[in-house]
Amino acid sequence: MPHPVLASPDLIRFEGDTPHLVGSRCDECGEVYFPATDSCTRCTATRMSPHDVGHRGTLWSWTIQGFLPKAPYNSGETPETFRPYGVGYVEMASGIKVESRLTVADETQLQIGMPLELTLIPYRTTGEGEVFTFAFRPSASA
Amino acid sequence: MAQDVAIIGIGLHPFGRHDTLTGRAQGAIALRAALKDAGIGWESVGIAYGGSHDAGNADALCNDLGLTGLPFINVANGCATGGSALASAVAAIRSGSAEFAVAVGFDKHPRGAFNPHPRDWGLPDWYGETGLMLTTQFFALKTRRYMHEHGITEDALVRVAQRAFRNGALNPQAWRRREMSYAEIAESMPVNLPLRQYMFCNPAEGGAALVLCPAEIAKRYHPKPIIVKAAVVRTRHHGSFEVFSPALAAQQAPAPTVTASRAAFEQAGVGARDIDVLQLQDTDSGSEIIHMAENGFCEHGEQERLLRDGETEIGGRLPINTDGGCLANGEPIGASGLRQVIEICTQLRQEAGARQVPGDPRLGYTHVYGAPGVSGVTILQR
Ligand SMILES: [Zn+2]
């Protein structure tokens, strides 16, 4: 199966069909970053290596985006067609919390601590087809 | 010991919407009012610091006030622009480089939420394009987590907004002057849950200005000079939970508000218990609640009880945002921090009319917080 067109391909690495988030890790102090950076704000080192941030986590905080964001948001929606979307910080295995869209936008279905897994969702359509971005969805286990 | 610096002139162009005035014109009105309050002319000012986010270079005010050749420093520090201008003006007087200094700010923002551009903040385009770069989201995410960790409920969010509009109704210069019922706020449109429409402040327009001089000569110019005991600006540390963060570090660090507040209390030689009236950045109800504890005015989790018991009201032990704060005045970024200082000066001068805190307020406190993680704190003394 061909991989979908991504808003930012550098953020994602595939293990088979399973997307993983790609970040960086400080060679000096081990601090993990997403997206990847070329310096460490913790220890000021500048030697970093690519790091697999993973594809499973737990919900650390969440909100529901209730209004259509202005540009540079480029989903192509109008105030009439806009559908609220979930946004959260997801705590990954290393302890880093990644800000992400959530597939769920229903407040009764969101709870801090719930297990989530990475997926890709279409968020805009161009002449060439759908463009995907990363998002987290509820999963059976963390 | 560095010499004390005093505020001898305050001037405000009321915040709100002023379709016929540019942002700069509102800044000029505020600045002329501050000079008049201090009883000095523009030609006496030795240095000026000013800022505006969306309404042009502050230094263009010289075209209105007069081309006297003075050094005019443009300040661009987000929500902390006013605090940074004030801290710089205080330092200039302390160093002896000017006798009279001005801190001024004005703004005029388009309607609706701010729309920052990722590259201006050192962030990748996808962060904005996919809908993750909104200040309102950050406030909601930080508030949600804080409520979870410290047992705060939605009740506290409603009460902060209710008090802001109640105080705004007492303030002839406020933008939002209508009291709102509990239900009206609690049932208002969800913007970024847990935060709703009337729990957020709006971008606005307005101007604010201060005139400062050495404290030892201040009484020649104003009968009630206000001493700046501390004016501190601090930026974020690795690990603090800041606006515009695609990720947060595994280990959390204190917010810049915490470090700015501690430094200010240390400089002033006073503690949170000594403060009689205060201003805390209230871009939204949740932020004000978090800022109560981050500035040392209560324990984490204690806020809900303080709000319910009326302790943060004008007549309470800890009167917060007596002029209605950002919620009732809106936020013209360049002017907002100086509006806070002006309100504290007004309270310490006992000139706040219907919203005057009772007793004999001697010490006041102001706090701003803004993107990408900068806080400004001042401590003011009558
Ligand atoms: Zn490091």
Give me the DSSP letters along chain A.
-PPPPBS-GGGEEEETTEEEEEEEEETTT--EESS--SS-TTT----EEEEEEESEEEEEEEEEE-SPPPTT--S---TTT---EEEEEEEETTS-EEEEEES---GGG--TT-EEEEEEEEEEEETTEEEEEEEEEE-S--
**Residue from the list A66, A70, A87 with its beta carbon closest to the beta carbon of B190:** A66
Asked if B191 is an interface residue toward chain A (Cβ–Cβ < 8 A), one would say: yes
Q: Output the pLDDT for position B2.
A: 65
- Asked if pLDDT for residue A87 goes beyond 90, the answer is yes
Low-confidence spans in chain B with pLDDT less than 50: 1
| Separation of alpha carbons B105 and B74, rounded Å | 10
With bands split at pLDDT 50, 70 and 90, how would you rate the model's confidence at A9? confident
Q: Across residues A84-93, what is the average pLDDT?
A: 98
**Residue from the list B115, B144, B189 with its beta carbon closest to the beta carbon of A63:** B144
Cα of A23 from ligand 1 centre, angstroms: 14
Q: Do A102 and A88 contact (CB within 8 A), yes or no?
A: yes
Domains parsed from chain B with CATH numbers? 5-111+200-381 (3.40.47.10)
| Separation of alpha carbons A87 and A91, rounded Å | 13
Q: Output the pLDDT for position A126.
A: 86
Using the Cα atoms of residue B94, residue B77, residue B261 and residue B291 in order, give the sign of their dihedral.
Answer: positive
Cα of A61 from ligand 1 centre, angstroms: 26
Contacts of A71 in chain B (CB under 8 A): 115
ipTM above 0.90, yes or no: yes
Q: Output the pLDDT for position B152.
A: 97
Q: Output the pLDDT for position B113.
A: 67
Cα of A30 from ligand 1 centre, angstroms: 6
| Separation of alpha carbons A23 and B156, rounded Å | 38
Q: Across residues A112-126, what is the average pLDDT?
A: 95
Contacts of A89 in chain B (CB under 8 A): 141, 145, 247-248
So where are chain A's domains?
Answer: 9-138
**Residue from the list A70, A74, A112 with its beta carbon closest to the beta carbon of B113:** A70
Contacts of A41 in chain B (CB under 8 A): 238
Q: Could you give the dihedral angle defined by the CA atoms of residues A119, A125, A130 and A134, in that order, rounded to the nearest 10 degrees? A: -20
For the ranges A92-101, A121-130, B95-104, B182-191, which has the lowest average pLDDT?
A121-130
- CA A139 vs CA A4, A56, A102, A107, B24: distances in Å: 21, 9, 12, 17, 54
Q: Across residues A82-105, what is the average pLDDT?
A: 97
Q: Output the pLDDT for position B112.
A: 72
Q: How far is B137 from chain A (nearest CA, A)?
A: 7
Record: contact B193-A107, CB cut-off 8 A? yes
Question: Please, is B277 exposed, middle or buried when counting C-beta atoms within 10 Å of its C-beta (0-12, 13-18, 19+)?
Answer: buried
Cα of A90 from ligand 1 centre, angstroms: 22
Q: Output the pLDDT for position B115.
A: 75
Cβ-Cβ contacts under 8 Å for B242 (sequence gap 6 or more): B138, B236, B255, B371, B372, B373
Q: Across residues A97-125, what is the average pLDDT?
A: 96
